[in-house]
Amino acid sequence: MKNVLFLCTGNYYRSRYAEILFNWKAHASGLAWRADSRGLDPDPLNPGYMSGDTMAALRNLGIPFDNYLRSPLPVSENDFRMAHHVVAVKEAEHRPMIEEKFPTWLDRVEFWHVHDLDYWEPEKAIPTLDREVAGLVERLMAR
């Protein structure tokens, strides 16, 4: 089983959604990959285990997420070591953070362009994540 690691800033909204959606799609497709997610700078003040927007979007798709209810986790060197593929969901936001904290891993990171709530409402970010995750699953299946 290979591992994909999704990164966002807080591991509360975007990366969590990508992780759960990827695992659901990979399982349905018979793809022998599993996703995890972490944050580059989790905010301890986020209320609860996961964004309400993430949970609502997963509910709308009929994807169960009870097994994913955990506090956001910060990324570590070991997370990068264990991953076969790494995706940071917003290049402009996450490239500088990775350059500063984990520069040796930068060349292994695929960057997407999915904005956080400060730029995009969930109605735009969630469908963008849907497309990006579906594309990643397709590419991994073609390998």
Domain range annotation of the chain? 2-142
Which pLDDT score is estimated for 32? 97
Which pLDDT score is estimated for 123? 94
SS3 36: strand
C-alpha to C-alpha distance for 110 and 91, rounded to whole angstroms = 9
Structure-token match 């904005």, residue found: 115
pLDDT digits (tens, 9 = 90+) for 104-131: 999 999 999 999 988 999 999 999 999 9
Whether the pLDDT of residue 92 is over 90: the answer is yes
SS3 118: coil
Which pLDDT score is estimated for 10? 96
Architecture of domain 2-142: 3-Layer(aba) Sandwich (3.40)
Tell me the pLDDT band of 97, cut-offs 50, 70 and 90: very high
Tell me the pLDDT band of 44, cut-offs 50, 70 and 90: confident
Whether the pLDDT of residue 102 is over 90: the answer is yes
pLDDT digits (tens, 9 = 90+) for 45-85: 888 899 999 999 999 999 999 999 999 999 999 999 999 99
C-alpha to C-alpha distance for 107 and 128, rounded to whole angstroms = 23
C-alpha to C-alpha distance for 70 and 50, rounded to whole angstroms = 8
